[in-house]
Amino acid sequence: AQSVAQPEDQVNVAEGNPLTVKCTYSVSGNPYLFWYVQYPNRGLQFLLKYITGDNLVKGSYGFEAEFNKSQTSFHLKKPSALVSDSALYFCAVRDRDTGGFKTIFGAGTRLFVKA
Amino acid sequence: NAGVTQTPKFQVLKTGQSMTLQCAQDMNHEYMSWYRQDPGMGLRLIHYSVGAGITDQGEVPNGYNVSRSTTEDFPLRLLSAAPSQTSVYFCASSYTPRAGGYEQYFGPGTRLTVT
């Protein structure tokens, strides 16, 4: 069965500092991996994805993530945080070897960037 | 394009009542899904569909029914509402992976309260 773990309920970082939001996953086959962001009272917005190829993927708003197969991780990073990055972030996985139809989400990590 | 639309935005039901949450997309996406979002639990998959006439269960299907008679619409029916179904419901759509689609597009959500 697929599962996603986001070990931190909240991450606090000062504006201008680098940020990392952690994600580990479990699938029976090979994964498609995603990060989404949710602002208050809004639906989720896609940030970036890993499908195949280069393990470092770049996405919207300066975010990037690194796929690490041996550690089954897909941590979200940004070199310099902005106050406007404060939001709820979700990691998600689809199992490509079972057709990739089911997307399973983590519980979410709230990012708070202090000015 | 309107993207993914959901109606209503808010709904209050009494225990035992039934209702249908509407979801429509105008992007010709084959894949559609319903999630519920509860604090600390992230998004949990209720049901999904990979095309008209094809539906399957997700992680938490009990108490909910779906059907997919057209590509555009994917309604979610609550058969007999219970307080445990108080949640925010999101509909999402995407192309299927075999068609080169991976990330999902989300609607704005329906906030449901069952008293």
Residue of B nearest to A99 (CA): B97
Per-residue pLDDT tens digits for B88-99: 999 999 987 776
pLDDT, position B25 = 97
Q: How many CA atoms lie within 13 A of A28 on its CB side?
A: 6
Q: B41-92: per-residue pLDDT in tens?
A: 889 999 999 899 999 999 899 999 999 999 999 999 999 999 999 999 999 9
Q: Which of A4, A9, A38, A44 to mutate to test the interface with B (most CBs of B within 10 A)?
A: A44
**8 Å CB contact of A100 and B45:** no
pLDDT at A98 over 80: no
What pLDDT does residue A1 have? 75
> Does the structure show a pLDDT above 80 at A101?
no
Structure-block tokens of residue A49: 């994805």
Q: Is B103 an 8 Å CB contact of chain A?
A: yes
> Residues of chain A with pLDDT > 70: what percent?
97
Tens-place pLDDT, residues A29-40: 888 999 999 998
Residue-wise DSSP of chain B: ---EEEE-SEEEE-TT--EEEEEEESS--SEEEEEEEETTTEEEEEEEEEETTEEEE-S--TTEEE--SSSSB--EEESS--GGG-EEEEEEEE--GGGT--S-EE---EEEEE-
Mean of per-residue pLDDT scores for chain A: 92
A43, B104: Cβ pair inside 8 Å? no
